[in-house]
Amino acid sequence: MTDDPMSRCPRFNRCSAPLCPLDPNREDRSHLRGEPVCGYLREIVKPDGASLVQQSVPELFELIAAAATELTVPGSPIYWALRAAARQNSQLASGRALHTRRQSAADIAEVSPSDSPTTDPNAGLLGISP
């Protein structure tokens, strides 16, 4: 694996943000109004976002946090984009909640019929045979 922090980002291959917080040359880049913004930058500005980003990409957290501080110059286009993102729901938290619900459903589906409280096909809803 390369030392390039950008390539270590889990979203690197599908990201379309022109301004990457992991780009060592980000000071040479610009963000125009309406352009995509890095998902981790959008998350880190939310309430509890820093802890979610740190849990998601612990090896990149410090770089992302430092870049967020540098890039949020009041009045700049990325500042306004991140300010709007801070008021939206967290995609990381939503994804984790969805994963937890899916895992719980999978755990329930793994219960075999012998684990069921009743095996009598004539038993009613409460497991009482007629």
Q: What is the pLDDT of residues 58-77, one digit of tens each?
A: 999 999 999 988 888 888 89
- 92, part of any domain: yes
Place of tokens 């949020």: 72
Is 12 within the bounds of a domain? Answer: no
Structural contact between residues 122 and 130, judged by C-beta atoms closer than 8 angstroms: yes
Predicted TM-score (pTM) of this structure: 0.68
**Domain assignment of residue 8, yes or no:** no
Print the domain residue range for 103: 38-107
Query: Per-residue confidence at 54, pLDDT binned at 50, 70, 90?
Result: very high
* Residue 55 maps to a domain: yes
Name the domain count of the chain.
1
Asked if residue 17 is part of any domain, the answer here is no
In the chain, what percentage of residues exceed pLDDT 70?
70
How far apart CA 16 and CA 55 sit, in angstroms, is: 23
Mean pLDDT of the chain: 79
Confidence (pLDDT) at 34: 93
Residue 84 in any domain: the answer is yes
Q: Is residue 26 part of a domain?
A: no
> Is the pLDDT score of 57 beyond 80?
yes
Q: Given a cut of 70, is residue 127 above it in pLDDT?
A: no
